[in-house]
Each structure stands twice: as structure tokens, then as C-alpha cells.
């Protein structure tokens, strides 16, 4: 499908595709035949924000043409992001989900695994083989790959260089949707100012600047604004329609007691009470901080909603029943968000993150990681039940992988969190119900980690041997007794931590491809192996209102395809001229 141009430095994607008309109000789709030229560059040196945007547009258009998805129009878009949800994590989670239901786990499918279309996503960032959540979610939300640690900013400036980031801000799908008159929402089990949700609305060259107290004084003096403040000061008049998650401390000033934990207080140094500001700006909106308050709302008549359910991240699903204040599940937050958002006849854009999948994997605790993945699947099912598939594009993916492995030769039906029972070698004649043993005669588990806090040497927190959640060591000593004997250890216990090969205080991300699952208008374009930033382009090419907003920013070619990276200055000039300096 690729034909190289004779003009040095360029190649043409020789594709034929039909696209929707540039105007969101167009009564019918129009056909166009075009080739999107993308410069042939020396990589990675020649990669630029504009190159990433254009190449993503070309790949999305080609994928759509190959799938005959041209002409499909989405009114609503929901992006589900399983943070760190690697393919081994998905596989192990569907086995666990099936086994919990008393059915065959190996053949069981989670809600999103039943979606009709799927693809692989390449997750590397412009500066790292193994990426972080900031740069990867920025790619998904803006169509441009960038550096690790950057939120809504291109790869051009250095990290934490506030001044150099001016003019390098990337326009996000949520911002485009808001400007186009759609309702918008961000939901997460992490802090709503954490990397993934922040990438829907925020712009900073440092992911850790969630609250002003985390920012150097010089950076604040330069005018960079923390993510909590950016959420509240969202430049489109109506702001985010729905924001649900954790991170309450980032919205409250220092010295103001938390409503759930009186001994804890806010973290802001600027004296702003962002919760009070939000309620003052939106007198028709509702603010809640626990599940009882959320349950009590008449959501069908709630025009906007802010929910902050913990000072920091929300609890793991396994630990949620222990929360005295009461937290909603991810599925409940998803249903609530959709109930509010669907009131808008122009449609909506919603991002939902299962943020604590990643945290459990970093903690080396497979039980909670799989449990959180099942919770995300429940949220996806809630969205499928609450929306019309003819009008709603739903995309489920991950930002990056992790080092969780699914290995050994466990027999069919073996507990996924258990020790391997079955063959020891692929040449064994028959699988048995007996424990498999390593070459020293010790049993081992199906799941393990390449690195992390599950290393069995002695640490400054726990003695040599199996580790138990939570475990956040700063120092280790090398293993002196060999692998621990797991014969009498209950590896299915929720607090058991799988063995890790390399001792680290926290397990790392992985660099391999992750999965994309999709349903609804335009979903067929998700096939094959795509660059992660192409997800944005598939979405905007099949969502007329968002695409029309890009065209108004001068991004579109003659065929109405967004191919040129829009500047945020131009976007601000349209939505909030007074903010443009």
C-alpha cells in the first residue's frame, strides 16, 4: 500500500478512502479519493510534532479504507483506558473472572474482549522504548507522540521547562469536543489530576505538577498552572461536564480539613479552594465526595457533576468495601457520567480510566491488578448497556504494558493465582494434577514479574522469603537461601506478591504492544498494528463534530481530513480570546 515518491524526503501513502464531509451538520457522507503525503524522515532525529500528527492521520485513513469504514459517523465517543493493562494482564484477568463464576476461565471473555474489532498499539515514546503514562496518553488524546513525563505538550522543550513549553501545547480530543458543543467527561479511579485523566485537559512539561505545592516557585512565577487549577479553569465556558475520581487534596487549600478524614487537609499553597470555586461557577452543578451522595442525585436532571472521592487515589476494588466514607465503583461512576452527558443532543466525549491496574502491577500484586481489570470490564459493560451502538464509538485500550508474565505449563482449569499443577516440560507426555517443580525441586506460580518488590531477598521492610502486599522497600540484600518453598504458601491470597527476578522498589512498565478493542461507528478501522497516536486520528475522522472543529482550526486538507497539527493558541483564540497572550 506504500509507494515511495521520487521526490527526496517524501513518500505518499497510496490509499483510496472515502471520508465524511468536513461540516458536522452535513446531511450525508461525501466521498473523496486522496493520498496523504507524509515526509520520509530520518528517525528518530527527523520526528516533529507535525510529522507525528500527519503520519497518524495517514495511517488512520488507510486503516479506515482497508476496513471499508468510511462514511461511519459517531455522535458519542467513550475511550476506556486500562492503565498498564498488558495482554498477559487481560488474559489472566479473564481466566480469573471465569473461574470466579465457576465456568471455564480459559475460554471466558471479558466485556471488551467480545467487541467486534481489535488491533495492536505501539506504545514507545519519542525518548523511551518503554514508555510512561504521560507521553502515551498524550499521544492517544492529541494524535502526537511526545516524551515521557509530558502532559499535553510536544517533544520539543526539555522536561520541567515551563517557558519553553509555551506554544508547544497540544490540543486534545476533549478540548475539541467541548469547543464543538459536546458534553465532556473524565472518570478515573486514580487522582483526577494524575497523568491519564490530566492528559484529557492539561498541558505541562511535568506530569507531577498536579498541585501548586508540587511546583518549584520559579515555575509558578513563570505562569505555569497545576493540573487541578487547569481543570477548574478550563477555558471553554462550560468546562468539563463531568469529572469523577480521587485527588481531593489537590483542590483544597492547606489547613482546610478533608471532609472524610478530619486529620488530613488540603495541599494547595495558593489559598484557592477549587471545590468552592467550581460550585460558585456552576450553581446548577452537583459536587459529591462519597457514594451515598452520588446515589442520591437525580442524574437525569443534573447538568454537571464533580466527584472527588479520596484525598489521593481511590481504593482498590478489593479494598473498597472497607472505606468508611463509601466509594462508588468504576462501573457506577461510568453509568453516572453517561447519564449526565447524554442529556446533550450534540453528543459527548468521555474518558474512563481503570487507573489502579497500573498501581497494583507496580506493587507486584497480581490479585489486585486482575481484580481492577475485571472492574474495568464491568465499567465497559455498563457503558455498552447505557449507549446506542449505532451512535457511540467505544474504544478500550491501554497506555503501556507491564512485566507480568503468564508462564509454565499449568493444566486446564488450574487456579490462575495458584501454583502450577501440570507438566514441567513441553515434551512431557501428559499433564498431571501434581505440582510442577523447578530444577531445584521447588514449586512455582503461573504468574510472575520480571522485576519489582516481589523479589524474595530480605528488604528493609520484610525478611527473606515470599513478600506480602503492601511492600515498598528501599533496600534489598541478595537472596541467600535460594527460592522460597511455596508448598504451604497460599499464593491465591489477595496480599500474596508474585516472585520478581530483579529487585526493585516498584515494578516497571513493559515496552511491548498493547491491545485495542472497539465497537460502534468507525471501530472497524482498528485492525492490524497501529502507532498509538493513530487512535486519536481514527476517532476524529469518524466523529463529525470533532473533525469539523479541527477543520475550523485550519487542520484539514481539501478533502476535510485533519492532517496539520492545530495550535492551542488558535484553539484558545476561538474559545477564549481573552486568554491568548
Distance of CA 118 to the CA centre of its chain: 17
HEC readout, 78-124: EEEEECCCCHHHHHHHHHHHHHHCCCCCCCCCCHHHHCCEEEEEECC
**What span, in angstroms and rounded, lies between the C-alpha atoms of 244 and 185?**
8
CA dihedral 313, 314, 316, 322 (to 10 degrees): 130
Neighbours of 45 (CB within 10 A): 6
**DSSP code of 316?**
P
Bridge-based pairing of strands 404-406 and 447-452 is antiparallel
Q: How far is CA 100 from CA 80, 93, 371, in A?
A: 24, 10, 11
Task: List the end-to-end C-alpha distance of the chain, in Å, as a whole number.
Answer: 44
- Nearby residues of 520 by Cβ (< 8 Å), 6 or more positions away: 74, 389, 390, 391, 392, 393, 394
Active-site choice (86, 121, 133, 165): 133
For the chain, give me the number of helices (H) and strands (E)?
A: 15, 22
Distance of CA 152 to the CA centre of its chain: 14
From the number of C-beta atoms within 10 Å of its C-beta (0-12, 13-18, 19+), residue 578 rates as: exposed
Q: Which of 283, 261, 379 is nearest to 328 (CA)?
A: 379
- Whether the upstream peptide bond of residue 470 has omega within 30° of 0, thus cis, is yes
**What span, in angstroms and rounded, lies between the C-alpha atoms of 122 and 113?**
19
**What span, in angstroms and rounded, lies between the C-alpha atoms of 508 and 541?**
34
DSSP string, 249-301: GGGSBBTPBPSS-TT-BB-BSS---HHHHHHHH-TTSEEESSHHHHHTS-GGG
Q: What angle do CA 145, 147, 150 make, to 5 degrees?
A: 100
DSSP string, 118-173: EEEEE---SS-SS--HHHHHHHHHHS----TT-BSB-SSSPTT-TGGGTT-BB--H
Q: Torsions phi, psi of 4, nearest 5? A: -80, 135
Residues in the chain: 581
Sheet with 76-82, strands from edge to edge, namely 286-288, 305-308, 242-246, 183-191, 348-354, 76-82, 392-397, 514-519, 117-122, 529-531
Distance of CA 539 to the CA centre of its chain: 15
Indicate if 133 belongs to the active site: yes
- Nearby residues of 131 by Cβ (< 8 Å), 6 or more positions away: 123, 124, 125, 148, 399, 400, 509, 511
Task: Please give the radius of gyration of the chain, using alpha carbons only, rounded to the nearest integer.
Answer: 24
Q: Which of 375, 376, 360, 373 is nearest to 449 (CA)?
A: 360
Q: How many CA atoms lie within 13 A of 317 on its CB side?
A: 23
Does residue 400 contact residue 133 with C-beta atoms inside 8 Å? yes
Residue positions annotated with a catalytic role: 133
Amino acid at each position: 500500500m506504500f509507494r515511495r515518491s521520487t521526490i527526496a524526503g517524501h513518500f505518499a501513502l497510496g490509499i483510496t478512502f472515502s471520508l465524511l464531509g468536513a461540516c458536522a451538520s452535513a446531511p450525508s457522507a461525501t466521498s473523496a479519493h486522496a493520498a496523504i503525503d507524509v515526509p520520509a524522515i530520518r528517525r528518530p532525529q527527523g520526528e516533529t510534532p507535525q510529522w507525528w500528527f500527519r503520519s497518524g492521520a495517514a495511517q488512520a485513513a488507510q486503516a479506515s479504507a482497508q476496513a471499508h469504514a468510511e462514511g461511519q459517523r459517531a455522535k458519542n465517543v467513550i475511550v476506556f483506558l486500562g492503565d498498564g493493562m498488558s495482554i498477559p494482564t487481560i488474559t489472566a484477568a479473564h481466566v480469573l473472572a471465569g473461574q470466579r463464576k465457576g465456568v471455564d476461565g480459559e475460554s471466558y471473555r471479558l466485556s471488551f474482549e467480545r467487541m467486534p474489532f481489535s488491533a495492536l498499539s505501539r506504545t514507545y515514546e519519542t525518548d523511551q522504548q518503554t514508555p510512561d503514562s504521560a507521553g502515551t496518553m498524550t499521544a492517544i488524546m492529541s494524535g502526537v507522540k511526545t516524551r515521557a513525563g509530558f502532559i499535553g505538550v510536544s517533544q520539543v522543550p526539555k522536561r520541567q521547562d515551563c517557558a519553553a513549553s509555551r506554544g508547544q501545547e497540544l490540543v486534545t480530543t476533549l478540548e475539541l469536543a467541548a469547543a464543538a458543543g459536546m458534553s465532556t467527561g473524565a472518570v478515573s479511579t486514580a487522582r483526577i489530576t494524575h497523568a491519564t485523566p490530566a492528559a484529557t485537559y492539561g498541558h505541562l512539561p511535568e506530569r507531577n505538577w498536579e498541585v501548586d505545592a508540587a511546583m518549584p516557585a520559579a515555575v509558578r512565577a513563570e505562569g505555569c498552572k497545576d493540573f487541578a487549577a487547569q481543570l477548574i479553569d478550563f477555558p471553554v465556558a462550560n468546562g468539563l461536564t463531568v469529572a469523577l475520581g480521587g485527588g481531593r487534596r489537590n483542590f483544597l487549600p492547606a489547613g482546610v480539613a478533608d471532609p472524610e478524614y478530619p486529620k488530613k487537609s488540603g495541599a494547595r499553597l495558593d489559598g484557592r479552594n477549587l471545590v468552592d470555586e467550581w460550585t460558585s461557577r456552576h450553581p446548577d452543578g452537583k459536587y459529591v465526595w462519597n457514594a451515598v451522595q452520588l446515589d442520591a442525585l437525580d442524574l437525569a436532571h443534573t447538568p454537571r457533576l464533580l466527584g472527588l472521592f479520596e484525598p489521593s487515589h481511590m481504593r482498590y476494588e478489593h479494598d473498597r468495601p472497607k472505606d468508611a466514607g463509601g466509594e462508588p465503583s468504576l462501573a457506577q461512576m461510568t453509568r453516572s457520567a453517561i447519564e449526565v452527558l447524554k442529556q446533550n443532543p450534540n453528543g459527548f466525549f468521555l474518558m474512563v480510566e481503570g487507573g489502579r491496574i497500573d498501581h497494583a502491577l507496580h506493587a507486584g500484586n497480581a490479585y489486585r491488578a486482575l481484580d481492577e481489570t475485571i472492574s474495568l470490564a464491568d465499567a465497559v459493560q455498563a457503558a455498552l448497556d447505557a449507549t446506542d451502538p449505532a451512535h457511540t464509538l467505544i474504544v478500550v485500550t491501554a497506555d503501556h504494558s507491564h512485566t507480568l508474565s503468564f508462564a509454565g505449563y499449568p493444566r486446564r482449569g488450574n487456579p490462575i493465582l495458584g501454583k502450577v499443577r501440570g507438566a514441567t516440560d513441553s515434551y512431557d507426555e501428559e499433564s498431571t494434577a501434581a505440582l510442577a517443580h523447578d530444577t531445584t525441586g521447588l514449586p512455582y506460580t503461573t504468574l510472575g514479574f520480571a522485576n519489582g518488590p516481589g523479589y524474595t531477598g530480605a528488604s528493609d521492610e520484610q525478611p527473606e522469603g515470599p513478600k506480602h502486599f503492601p511492600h515498598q522497600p528501599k533496600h534489598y540484600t541478595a537472596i541467600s537461601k535460594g527460592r522460597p518453598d511455596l508448598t504451604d504458601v497460599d499464593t491465591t491470597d489477595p496480599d500474596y506478591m508474585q516472585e520478581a527476578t530483579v529487585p526493585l522498589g516498584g515494578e516497571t512498565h513493559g515496552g511491548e504492544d498493547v491491545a485495542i478493542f472497539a465497537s460502534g461507528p468507525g471501530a472497524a478501522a482498528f485492525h492490524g498494528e497501529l502507532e498509538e497516536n493513530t487512535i486519536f486520528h481514527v476517532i476524529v475522522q469518524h466523529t463529525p463534530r470533532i473533525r469539523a472543529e479541527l477543520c475550523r482550526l485550519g487542520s484539514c486538507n481539501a478533502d476535510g481530513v485533519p492532517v496539520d497539527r492545530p495550535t492551542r493558541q488558535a484553539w484558545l483564540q476561538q474559545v477564549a480570546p481573552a486568554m491568548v497572550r
